[in-house]
């Protein structure tokens, strides 16, 4: 996600959080997140990757869907609450290794989110709404 997605879709972005199943807080820029009005509780269910795009004032919240599932309606709600005070707009991305893996979860992916598949790294799949790769008000 960092090596393939970020250069393509979030160039110039600041990686503020990286977590995984083994080391939940592998990289955590607490002070920078606080500057963006994000207060993270250690018990909060952080996404796998948080990238800030200063030129657009967006926080891109990314889930490695093959390990934890996609941004479905429940997860969208959890992340909305966790980042409810954030000053930047929120963008939700479910990341899969390939479309075959995505098909397993297709029925669960939340509307107004985006999907990225690593085997086709220059493309996004947008799930409805009037915006493409952008926050909703």
Q: Are 69 and 75 in contact (CB under 8 A)?
A: yes
CATH of domain 5-127: 3.40.1350.80
| pLDDT value for 20 | 65
Q: Considering the entire predicted model, what is its pTM?
A: 0.88
User: Which ranges of the chain have pLDDT less than 70?
Assistant: 20-25, 41-44, 129-133, 136-137
Over residues 84-110, the pLDDT tens digits come to 999 999 999 999 999 999 999 999 999
| pLDDT value for 62 | 96
| pLDDT value for 45 | 84
Domain boundaries, the chain: 5-127
| pLDDT value for 44 | 62
Q: Are 14 and 32 in contact (CB under 8 A)?
A: yes
């Amino acid at each position: 996600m960092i090596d393939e997605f970020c250069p393509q879709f979030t160039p110039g972005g600041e990686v503020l959080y990286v977590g995984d199943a083994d080391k939940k807080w592998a990289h955590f820029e607490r002070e920078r997140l606080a500057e963006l009005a994000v207060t993270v509780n250690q018990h909060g269910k952080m996404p796998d990757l948080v990238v800030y795009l200063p030129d657009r004032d967006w926080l891109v919240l990314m889930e490695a869907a093959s390990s934890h599932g996609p941004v479905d309606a429940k997860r969208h709600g959890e992340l909305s609450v966790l980042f409810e005070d954030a000053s930047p707009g929120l963008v939700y991305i479910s990341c899969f290794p390939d479309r075959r893996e995505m098909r397993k979860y297709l029925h669960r992916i939340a509307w107004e989110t985006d999907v990225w598949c690593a085997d086709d790294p220059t493309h996004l799949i947008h799930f409805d709404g009037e915006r493409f790769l952008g926050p909703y008000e």
